[in-house]
A = this chain, B = another copy of it.
Amino acid sequence: MPINKVVPSFREAVADIPDGATIFLDGFGGPGGMPHFLILALWEHGAKNLTIISNTAGIAMAAGFGMPGGKRYIDHSILIESGQVRKVIASFPVTANPSVLCAAERAWREGKLEIETVPQGTLVERIRAGGAGIPAFYTPTGVGTLLERGKEKRVFNGREYLLETALTADFAFIRAWKADRLGNLVYRGTSRNFNAVMATAARITIAEVDEVVEPGGIDPDHVHTPALYVKRIVVRPPDDTPILAETYEARKRERGRV
């Protein structure tokens, strides 16, 4: 049977996510790499007690990071607001401006959310290690700082390093540009960032894409994520109304969900 990983709806793509799942989620910050429709589907699905591993804890919605004039998109803040998230592992958990609180900082202040702060390079390397079968590695990053607490320190060639362990997840929510039905992915520009790494380290990687092309429609020299890493593909609708922050606010009121 021809391989065809395209799933007809975002709802179906996330239907089997259980309470307590760990989820990789890109979003370097701005909307380019953010799997908005998957996030919205997970909000509607309602799975609870989630652990989210992401570069940020959802700051774009609060701070407008990387968003061109006017439009505001949802991000993982909506999962935190709805109380679905137990813990976030992130590099940028809060906004740059202490007076602008994102949902994560609010929940953290109220004791409702655990946040683990990890240097960005260490975070992404731990994810790469998770995908590459490397259980642990040493890094110079963080030595002599608060973040070395509880970590093994070791000297190689006269320099100190910390031992860091691999991160994996049950699901990865990926935002890509094009896919073929086999699962090969290409990203656009700086939206590749965490997406291409997270795709390698989850049990089930779900890609939200702009377009599905025929096999051969992506030059094999240009593939960023080889097909084997991707289990499900869902195509974004051309209309982005559902993921606009205003739509979310309206729906939230409608459903009485906070």
Q: Which secondary structure dominates where chain A touches chain B? A: mixed
A33 to chain B, nearest CB (A): 14
A-B contact pairs, 21 of them (CB 8 A): A125-B132, A129-B137, A133-B139, A133-B140, A134-B138, A134-B139, A135-B140, A135-B159, A135-B161, A136-B137, A136-B138, A136-B161, A137-B137, A137-B138, A156-B165, A187-B221, A188-B221, A189-B220, A189-B221, A192-B221, A222-B222
Query: For the complex, is A186 an interface residue (Cβ under 8 Å from B)?
Result: yes
How often does this chain occur in the complex, in copies? 2
Known interface pairs A221-B187, A222-B221, A222-B222; A135-B134 also in contact (CB < 8 Å) = no
Chain B residues contacting A135 (CB-CB under 8 Å) are: 138, 140, 156-157, 159, 161
Closest to A192 in B: B221
Closest to A166 in B: B156
Q: A240 to B66, alpha carbons, bound, how many Å?
A: 50
Q: A156: which of B136, B186, B192 is its contact (CB, 8 Å)?
A: B136
Q: A125 to B222, alpha carbons, bound, how many Å?
A: 22
Q: How large is the interface on A (under 10, 10 to 19, 20 to 34, 35 or more residues)?
A: 20 to 34
Q: A243 to B114, alpha carbons, bound, how many Å?
A: 62
A82 to chain B, nearest CB (A): 32
Chain A, 120-149, contact with B by CB distance < 8 Å: what is the 0/1 string? Answer: 000001000100111111111000000000
A152 to chain B, nearest CB (A): 11
Chain B residues contacting A222 (CB-CB under 8 Å) are: 221-222
Q: A138 to B133, alpha carbons, bound, how many Å?
A: 9
